[in-house]
Structure 1
């Protein structure tokens, strides 16, 4: 058989290791950290768990073993991610962003950059090393990031500029929402991968690149954002004011290809976001099922014996199973096709995150008004589930537009994913739905 849904012994070991870590190391800190009003303090409360995750190979498990990473396949990564997300998707996001920041260095960086940056990430004796990924920008006119590949020149699209000045690039502008970038103290991660505009005369498909901004760079400041979900991971605003970085910190293969970096990054993270939705929906479902078997709502017997309760929970269980296997398929596809999956990654992320947001709410309807009581976890499940469709390349922005661009291509084969064929994502598939492309 070529299709086997049984985990191998090695895969099962990874799953159980992640479950043990999540239930015994991470879970004890989540409730208090989630309720901490100061977002930076909330993040800092997870630091001991992060250090343990580092020691166990979780924090950089997605990076190649030749540079000290865990060498996990994408299938193995999402097996572990589901277990972590069932306890706390915020913490899982912290780990995910390490990959979003450093995998492009693996894809496109020089050998010196790989050894210097990835090597440092995977050999920190303190276990505190952390990386940030900065693409998103603040709203305004113009502003935001959904139309980052708009063909118009600056200031449309990405607004952080990087002007060449001798042996340096000088950065100016603002980023908004990137995760991890402020580091443990709000003064900067060890390194941040920042998508910038290196050519203001060109549009988003040719004028963008990625640079590495290291902690302590003058002219860079951070402000922590207070969000309603993923309270244990920090989002920040970054302000660049004539910040100079060495020219060798430009990730070589991204020069003029920052657009492809963004699309590839959010394709890779698609099944991770999808499995995060599976994890949190799984927890909501298990709690609702337990509730329905132990509470009567005033009837002579537990409410699980009412048809509507059984039907609703059965539908939620089906969605969880369907989405789990869609995530497995997507991760396997990315493994098979050189860490590309721009089409299937976006489809997976949009479908699973929206289907399971509804699933979490259906569980709350089964429990009823008591699900609003903060002594239970349902309100946290809902807050977490509501984040998934709007973060990580929002479903109404980057994700669906990438699918649209691929489908509109005259060369698109509608049976490609079914046949596990490689679907190449090209610059010609970008710009769709952007205003300037239709003028």
Structure 2
């Protein structure tokens, strides 16, 4: 059979290396940073860990070898990310967002842009390079493909042909990495903007590369409940000027957003699986040793055993769905929009139920901050909300693909190719699609 869940020797070695890094390097730094009250200081405290991750090749393993990257498969990246996220899901988000910023340059950029930015990121072994993905806005991100120019993305990019520069105005809310380690900006921020004020999201969007220290950009750090080891900001543009050659995907910003969130979906999904795994690991050890005042460890009670069985099954299912979504992308580059969306929704939602069930097993002691469950409960709140929210954006991305006549319930089980096009966009944003 072509279906094989065995890890190769190289993948086992990658898993072992990532787990060792997570336990020995990431854990002590993340535990310290999570307790820092100031969100920017918490993020900055992770810079030494990021430097070690860069030296180990973790920050560029997903980039193509032709530009100096590790050339890993999507499945390989998931194996590493799961190990990191089982210790702390915030820090690996920095790596994920590096990819969200750089992959659009790979897909839509000029060769000069690829060599400059992807090559520079891949060559970084000291942790100096940071990239930001700037798409979210306070009002309309989920409706980025709305037919009205007054809905969706509202940060505007006006091209002045006479000067050869683009002027940006507006506000982005929640971009990750964008402020950089010192709030002078990431080395490169890839910002989705409205390049045509007269048309809707399909045709009216593009992206622009905003470099570090660009004048007129302000960054305000968001103080978050969880994922405190990564940075999110409000990013404000006031007559910000960038060179015209920094534009990419003009008129195709909607396709860029869809492909980017498809690329990231299995990564965010395996991160959710990792948090569930961490909760399960603690609850299982607890159940094997804690008696609750009885004569035997509570794992011998039917209610606890049944609940642990359900938890374990959900984690295995989530991991294999994530591997499937990643493998489909490796097999069919640029495709898998519906499968990625289903994976993100399934894993994000199941992880929350797993963490709560594990807290029920541990009991009131789960609230004690000296144990990991309190932090895992906070982290669990993130996954259905970020990386294109589960409630609407991810589900309607899958909906649009399934409405297409070319889609079949066998599409993904048969690993059949199903290219994504604009006819699959727009579902759920208007009441009349005629």
* TM-score bucket of the superposed structures, by smaller chain: over 0.9
CA deviation after TM superposition for structure 1 residue 412, in Å: 2.0
CA deviation after TM superposition for structure 1 residue 423, in Å: 1.7
Q: Map 1:421-432 onto structure 2 (within 5 A).
A: 421-432=416-427
Question: Is 1:380 matched up with 2:380?
Answer: no
CA deviation after TM superposition for structure 1 residue 357, in Å: 1.1
CA deviation after TM superposition for structure 1 residue 124, in Å: 3.2
Contact 1:175 1:239 in 2 (8 A): yes
CA RMSD, Structure 1 to Structure 2 (Å): 1.2
Moved more, 369-378 or 195-204: 369-378
Q: Map 1:161-200 onto structure 2 (within 5 A).
A: 161-166=156-161, 167-200=164-197
Partner of 2:120: 120
SS of match in other structure, 1:243: strand
The 2-side partners of 1:417 and 1:130 are apart by 35
Among 362, 365, 382, which residue is 2:360 paired with? 365
SS of match in other structure, 1:388: coil
The 2-side partners of 1:412 and 1:310 are apart by 40
Contact 1:171 1:240 in 2 (8 A): yes
CA deviation after TM superposition for structure 1 residue 269, in Å: 0.8
The 2-side partners of 1:437 and 1:56 are apart by 51
Among 401, 404, 413, which residue is 1:406 paired with? 401
The 2-side partners of 1:340 and 1:41 are apart by 39
Partner of 1:280: 275
Partner of 2:203: 206
Contact 1:151 1:437 in 2 (8 A): no
Contact 1:43 1:232 in 2 (8 A): yes
CA deviation after TM superposition for structure 1 residue 120, in Å: 1.5
Partner of 1:227: 224
The 1-side partners of 2:242 and 2:107 are apart by 21
Question: Is 1:33 matched up with 2:24?
Answer: no
Question: What does the per-residue CA deviation read over 1:325-350, in whole Å, with 9 as the maximum and x for residues that have no partner?
Answer: 11111110000001422111101000
Question: Is 1:327 matched up with 2:311?
Answer: no
SS of match in other structure, 1:177: strand
Partner of 2:142: 146
CA deviation after TM superposition for structure 1 residue 59, in Å: 0.8
Q: Map 1:218-367 onto structure 2 (within 5 A).
A: 218-251=215-248, 254-367=249-362
The 2-side partners of 1:263 and 1:124 are apart by 28
Relative to structure 1, the CA distance from residue 208 to residue 269 in structure 2 (aligned partners, 3 Å threshold; closer, same or farther) is same
The 2-side partners of 1:382 and 1:144 are apart by 28
Question: What does the per-residue CA deviation read over 1:167-189, in whole Å, with 9 as the maximum and x for residues that have no partner?
Answer: 01100000001100001012210
CA deviation after TM superposition for structure 1 residue 14, in Å: 1.2
SS of match in other structure, 1:199: coil
Contact 1:147 1:397 in 2 (8 A): no
The 1-side partners of 2:401 and 2:283 are apart by 39
SS of match in other structure, 1:390: coil
The 1-side partners of 2:59 and 2:176 are apart by 15
Relative to structure 1, the CA distance from residue 421 to residue 183 in structure 2 (aligned partners, 3 Å threshold; closer, same or farther) is same
Contact 1:150 1:436 in 2 (8 A): no
TM-score scaled by structure 1?
0.96
Moved more, 387-396 or 124-133: 124-133
Contact 1:152 1:436 in 2 (8 A): no
Contact 1:146 1:393 in 2 (8 A): yes
Question: Is 1:43 matched up with 2:43?
Answer: yes
CA deviation after TM superposition for structure 1 residue 437, in Å: 4.6
SS of match in other structure, 2:384: helix
CA deviation after TM superposition for structure 1 residue 255, in Å: 1.2
Off by >3 Å, runs of 4+ in structure 1: 436-439
The 2-side partners of 1:435 and 1:52 are apart by 47
The 1-side partners of 2:10 and 2:73 are apart by 11
- How many residues are paired up? 432
